[in-house]
Structure 1
Amino acid sequence: MTRALILIDMQRGIADPALGRRNNPEAEDNIARLLFAWRDARRPVVHVRHISRSPRSVFWPGQEGAEFQDRFQPRADEHVVEKNVPDAFINTALERWLLVRDIRKVAIVGVITNNSVEATARTSGNLGFDTIVVSDATYTFDKADFNGTLRTAGEVHAMSLANLHDEYAKVVTTIELLRGN
């Protein structure tokens, strides 16, 4: 059974310095490696684009930030999903698109680990999809916890992956996925 690659929010706005310090500087290269591998194998690719409801967002429609980054431009035969909330399954036809094509396995990459990636992976697992999240093909930003303590992007990323692993998804590296996970 084939596995679809889901790229989440690889848009120009995610590079905005106002978003703060991030982790996984190699994430885009790993995402590109996976995308090229999927394309070469003619496996299904889904590009998720966040279209914000907030005019102050880097993903506000009609702005350059809402556009896909150059190296992650969808091809004509690749599916594009537009979402308005972090979860790519909510108020989109993503689940139906996958099921109609008998796709029951997905690999999730992109941003933000503790936001759109985690929300989408949780729903994917809850819907019964065999879900993989690629740890080094995702990243996040520094964030204050509920008590106001600033956590590094690495800490936030690790906690988000821990929330997902063996509960909603299997967390693997790019190399592990390319080797057949």
Structure 2
Amino acid sequence: MATALLIIDMQTGLYDGPQKPFERERVLDTVNQLIQRARSASAPIFFARHTGPTGSPIEAGSPLWQLWRGLNVDESHDHLFNKTRPSCFLGTDLAQQLAAAQIEELVIVGMKTQFCVDTTCRVAVELGFSVVLPEDGHTCMDTPALSAKAIIEHHNATLAGAFTKQVKARDIWS
């Protein structure tokens, strides 16, 4: 089964914002390890950037919109695209790019667990993709209602089975 890696919204404005993502250094390390293993397996890598409207802090091209400097991005080889909604598919050509590459399975990592990661996992399944969600490969920030750790645990449990195959990142392309 042809597999691609999809990295969602790991951008300066979210990663270095006033509220830091839960276990941000560990998650960054996990994502970078997956990037290296995807490259070794010749799996395509897609980076999604959440893009706000003109004048917003994350408008296209702004400093906060940039992918986080600690990511191992190869812009000459990796696929970078912009999105304006929680789904990586809505209003983008991601589905067409994946179809052209004959991708059947997506490994999804990044931010934020309860918004873009959750939505993209669900939509990917609706579009016919098999989805692997490394339980240790996505993150978010604390909210007034729940800690980031609780949000991540809840989404791992909720998405497992019906929407995603749940694994540890170390077991992908190992």
TM-score, length-scaled by structure 2: 0.90
- Listed one character per residue, the Cα deviations across residues 73-115 of structure 1 (whole Å, up to 9, x for unaligned) are 3331221121001110101011111112211111001111111
SS in 2 for 1:19: coil
Cα distance in 1 for residues equivalent to 2:85 and 2:131: 20
Alignment root-mean-square deviation, CA = 1.8
Matches within 5 A, 1:20-169: 20=20, 22-23=22-23, 25-53=25-53, 55-57=55-57, 59-70=58-69, 71-144=71-144, 150-169=145-164
Q: For residue 96 of structure 1, what is the amino acid of its counterpart? A: Q
Aligned length: 173
Cα distance in 2 for residues equivalent to 1:13 and 1:171: 28
Cα distance in 2 for residues equivalent to 1:81 and 1:161: 26
SS in 1 for 2:154: helix
Query: How many Å apart are 1:55 and its aligned residue?
Result: 4.1
Q: For residue 174 of structure 1, what is the amino acid of its counterpart? A: A
Cα distance in 2 for residues equivalent to 1:142 and 1:34: 25
SS in 1 for 2:135: strand
Unaligned ranges ≥5, structure 2: none
Query: How many Å apart are 1:16 and its aligned residue?
Result: 3.0
- Listed one character per residue, the Cα deviations across residues 5-47 of structure 1 (whole Å, up to 9, x for unaligned) are 0011121112234235624641100000000111122211111
Unaligned ranges ≥5, structure 1: 145-149
Checking the alignment, whether the CA contact within 8 Å between 1:74 and 1:80 is kept in structure 2 is: no
Checking the alignment, whether the CA contact within 8 Å between 1:24 and 1:136 is kept in structure 2 is: no
- Listed one character per residue, the Cα deviations across residues 130-168 of structure 1 (whole Å, up to 9, x for unaligned) are 101111111111123xxxxx3111001111222211111
SS in 1 for 2:172: helix
Residue in 2 that maps onto 1:176: 171
SS in 2 for 1:75: coil
Q: For residue 94 of structure 2, what is the amino acid of its counterpart? A: L
